[in-house]
A and B are shown apart, each in its own frame.
Chain A
Amino acid sequence: MTATVNTPAARGGRVFGVLGKKAVVPWLFLAPGLLLALVFKFWPMAKGIWLSFFDVRPFLGDQWIGLDNYTRVLTDHRFQDAIGHTLVLGIGQSLGAILLGFVLALLLEGQARSLKIIRTAVFLPAVTATAVVGELWRLMYYPTSDGLLNSGLHLLGLGPVQFLDNPGIALYSTMAMGIWIWAPYNMVILLAGLAGVDRSLYEAAAMDGVSLWQRLRHVTLPAIRPALMIVLTLATIRGLRVFTEVYVLTGGGPAGSTDVWMTRAYTLGFSRNDIGGASAASVVLLCVTLLLTVTVNYLRKRGETR
């Protein structure tokens, strides 16, 4: 075919043609996306950063107060508690979901049709809207002894647990729901990683007579390291900005024991109308998210080239 003969020349021609007279074409295609991202993502981000330096007073005019919002938010003990809760929830939920996702992936790896059906069913929590999951878990956590989980505990001779009403337990109840939502999601990514492991390594390991544990430790885990890093990155970012799970399950209660950074910022902004303080809280979260993403990406790149 002529096309194959012409390829290098044609490709070169395309590049220079585009740079020349057709330079405007890609921008026409990009315009809708860039416009929407600009108006509904970057402009609000800029506005949030701007407002975080002001005492926002509707009808009275905003007043520049420098870093006061930041010091106020960062020294507020409810925000300090929220940092702790965000960290506990984020780390616990992420690690739990990765571990459970890995176990699920090991369990459900394979090509049998029955395994595919089980995988489809197990993945349900990940495709269900978080608000629906929240209602489901409220029922499972029903605090009397005839609630779903409590009746199970009753069989074991354990008293009814106030999963969501006990300030000492509520955060862990929320964590359990988060693990339940995200473990199947991690499972799918880790399954993709497992499918890419070189089978001949397993064979070689079997010939060397290593144990199952050693095989997992020295063959499987190093091979799925990239997939694990992806899962970890996604989970960390998700953990920081956790909002809906907490908001629909506990609303931050009881007594603020499940308040995370975002529910706190939401309360400040929408219930107390403290736009400046809420903006400052959002900017802090934004900075931490960006910092974390960049760091993890850097570590990932370094790990890959090593």
Chain B
Amino acid sequence: MSAPVIDPVRPTAPDTPAGRGTKAQRTTPARFDTALGWNDKPSLAWALRILLCLIALAVFAAPFLTIFSGAFTPNPSGSSLSFLPHDSTLLNFEVAGERGIWDYLGNSLVIAGGGLLLQLVVCTLAAYALARHRFRGQALIMMLFMMTLMLPEEVIAIPLSLVLGDVPVVHLDLKGTVWGVILPLGAWGFSVMMLTEFMRDIPDEIEEAARLDGVGELRMLWQVVLPLCKPALGVAGVLGFIMIWDQYLLPLIAAKDPTDYTVTVALSILRTDPEVGSGVVLAGAVIALIPSLIVYLLLQRSLVSGIAAGATKG
């Protein structure tokens, strides 16, 4: 099968995206390795492939260099934008700092950290119940979590903003607090489903052995199931972080005034400020880009295999 079947007993197994390196691949000649039959011998096709790879890099990766070069260039505009800064300066970052970019970054980091923690806890608990227990209404609950994926913030934005201003029953006003952004991100159907799939693969024998030792539910989850789920938790963590960092509409509607914005939303404030040049906007973009870049580069391996696994399983 195409999905990387991650063996929960040996969490080190999934190392490449999409379960490459199956036996069939290793024993067949390289020419049948890929759909197009690429091979490594210098030839016309080989040169063409290198050329196409360079074009792909230029189209998808090189534009990021302009963000960095522009951020370090004094007053970049039009022609002075290039892939390398001319005479580098930190002036743009100073101006961006005066406009409160570090406060916005602070908002973002609190929301990303808190939101991710809440999301992982909530989704792990739900997945544990769905994967390791059998109860009435299980299929219905699974469907409810799947439906949360079909109710993205965009579709329910207007009523959600009313709910955030006056939470039913408890009548709290979450607007202007980080909770207004964090709480709606708690139950994420994707993580619930992925973790459930993963936890189902843990052999019953392990659980039963632990139960014979008198392990209770919480210890079972914390000391038996979670250690076996590390790869899946890594994937849920990276994807969750990137999803939260990408939020735009939710921080926008949950804010009371612009000081509550996250750094990604604040970029539009920087841009509409007439006294601020595009260099400052790009400095803000760099600041908004770096955290997700770090997370991605540290954990890209599990991210890519996770997307593939999530997509092919879901």
Contacts and interface: CB of A to CB of B under 8 A. Distances in A.
Interface of A: 1, 3-4, 6-7, 10-11, 14-15, 18-19, 23, 25-30, 32-34, 36-37, 39-45, 47-48, 51, 104, 106-112, 116, 118-125, 127-132, 134-136, 138-140, 142, 144, 146-148, 151, 180, 183-185, 188-189, 191-200, 202-203, 206, 212, 215-216, 219-220, 226-227, 230-231, 234, 237, 241, 243-244, 247-248, 262, 265-266, 269-270, 275, 278-279, 282, 285-286, 289-290, 293
14 contacts: A3-B209, A19-B136, A39-B168, A41-B187, A47-B159, A109-B34, A139-B81, A188-B304, A191-B18, A192-B2, A192-B308, A226-B2, A247-B249, A269-B158
Given A135-B282, A188-B304, A43 B163 contact: yes
Nearest to A122: B60
Given A206-B32, A275-B162, A282-B159, A132 B264 contact: yes
B268 interface: yes
B60 A193 contact: no
B86 interface: no
B213 to A, nearest CB: 11
Contact of B2 (A130, A142, A196, A266): A196
Interface in B112-142: 121-123, 125-126, 128-130, 133-136, 141
Given A29-B129, A47-B162, A196-B2, A184 B52 contact: no
Contacts, number: 350
Interface of A is mostly: helix
A142 B172 CA distance: 45
A151 B144 CA distance: 51
Contacts of B122: 32-33, 36
Contacts of B314: 230
Nearest to A145: B78
Interface in B252-287: 253, 264-265, 267-268, 271, 278, 281-282, 284-285
B105 interface: no
Contacts of A7: 204-205, 208
Given A3-B209, A45-B151, A220-B35, 9 more contacts: A30-B141, A32-B121, A122-B57, A132-B67, A139-B81, A142-B81, A146-B77, A147-B78, A286-B151
Most buried by A among B158, B184, B204, B208: B158
Most buried by B among A3, A107, A132, A234: A132
Contact of A129 (B70, B125, B221, B245): B245
B56 A18 contact: no
Contacts of B56: 104, 107-108, 118, 122
A33 to B, nearest CB: 4
A198 B308 CA distance: 18
B128 A29 contact: yes
B94 interface: no
Closest 7 CB pairs of A and B: A196-B2, A146-B78, A192-B308, A146-B79, A192-B18, A29-B129, A48-B159
A92 B63 CA distance: 22
A118 B151 contact: no
A269 to B, nearest CB: 4
Given A140-B66, A230-B312, A241-B154, A195 B145 contact: no
A34 B292 CA distance: 29
A149 to B, nearest CB: 10
A141 to B, nearest CB: 11
B205 A18 contact: no
A32 B129 CA distance: 12
Nearest to A262: B154
B24 A200 contact: yes
Contact of B135 (A3, A26, A110): A26
A134 B163 CA distance: 29
A231 B314 CA distance: 11
